[in-house]
Amino acid sequence: MVLCGAFVSPNVGAVSDVAHARHRPVGGRRTATLSTHRRCSHALLCHAAPTSPASSSISGAQSGADPLKNDLLLRAARGEHVERTPVWLFRQAGRHLPEYNEYKKRTNKNFLELLRDPKDVAEVTMQPVRRYDVDAAILFSDILVIVEAMGLKVEMPGGKGITVPEPIASPEDLAARVSLKLDVQQALGHVLEAVREIKKELAGRVPLIGFSAAPWTLLFYMVGGSSRKNQQNGTQWLEQHPEESRKLLDALTDIVIDYLCLQVDHGADILQVFEAMGEFISEPHFEEFALPCLQRIVTEIRARRPGVSVMVFPRGASYSLPALAAAGYDVLTIDTSTSRQEARAAFPSATLQGNYAPSLLVDSSAEHVRATVREMLSELGPQQLIANLGEGLTGKEKPELVDEFVRSVHNISEELIHGA
């Protein structure tokens, strides 16, 4: 039964700062204002994402693992009071770290080759945990591992980002080249083994975040091949092949659900869903095609793995946050274009995540980082918050400024909490 596309959402507006230039209109996209957002019911606007069923600080799947020494992020995700704001960073493992670049050189492996070896994945995942006082590790992986497992070639040519060099050209091409059924345990077993290996390395130090791309983001790459060109292909597929799009999205939703549940079974303590290409879909198309998939993902995970919190990041599609909160996501991530004051006003008791600009960690000063962290914490509040970036690290950031960001979140949030 096709479930993606059968959902009709309320006409929710944006919680976004429409002045941010990088969110250009795509496919006739309408940029809603907060006034539109406020026309929704008060119950939806002020909806706190439902907390997961009562659980200990260690998820049921982890009962045999080392007890967590730091469960700050898990408590914040559940909306519990914390003594300081937890912090981690999108793409915290990887190319901004000297030790990562040295490891690649020493092993003579590129990014995609590292992903295929659980030992390499565990090592790279641990590098930022050793360097910074972050409150979580996140699986070192890529959003396109599912696409590759389904049979499409994935490459990462230098300076061009990750790509699908031979994207799907038509529904006939899809039927000929891609199987919509996937044995996730078999096809992505190396990733699941890496999750288990990371948990051993962490030894209870901090929680481990498992993650997956969302179905629309996967479809976007499968038919367009890149985030830098052919950006219109995804929307064209939805418009020209709506039934085939629903079929593909529904299959991807099944795979994402299985993949995330298996990550929990192998050791992940909390999950993150990335709708990374929300920028390249119109609001009506998002509501018709992307949102039903995101809704089913969280519904199924809460049913299959109760007690495990789920975070969501609709990058470039902040207008969807009210509907995602209503769907049951525990943590709502805001991007760099989203007004913090408007987001907190709309979700006064929900746990938010974000939205520090990584550009401030490239060529700034420790003093400026501390000042801007204080600004972020003052606007969002130190409780019901997981401090993070509004988009991933690019590789140009200075480790000393990243370290200052992490330490400033902890120090300033403690000051705000204990001074309240």
Catalytic (active-site) positions: 91, 95, 106, 142, 221
- For 212, the 3-state DSSP assignment is strand
Alpha-carbon distance of 293 to 274, in angstroms, equals 12
Query: Contact 146/218 with Cβ under 8 angstroms?
Result: yes
Alpha-carbon distance of 240 to 285, in angstroms, equals 13
DSSP state of 361: G
Structure tokens at 40: 């929704």
Degrees, nearest 5: CA angle 163-300-296:
60
Query: Contact 4/242 with Cβ under 8 angstroms?
Result: no
| Residue 371 CB partners (closer than 8 Å, separation 6+) | none
Query: Contact 183/244 with Cβ under 8 angstroms?
Result: no
Q: Shortest CA distance to 34 belongs to which of 349, 338, 333, 290?
A: 338
Alpha-carbon distance of 249 to 243, in angstroms, equals 10
Q: Shortest CA distance to 190 belongs to which of 98, 292, 121?
A: 121
Q: Which position has the token pair 């909306």? A: 79
Alpha-carbon distance of 125 to 92, in angstroms, equals 8
Question: Longest Cα pair distance anywhere in the chain, in angstroms?
Answer: 63
Alpha-carbon distance of 355 to 75, in angstroms, equals 19
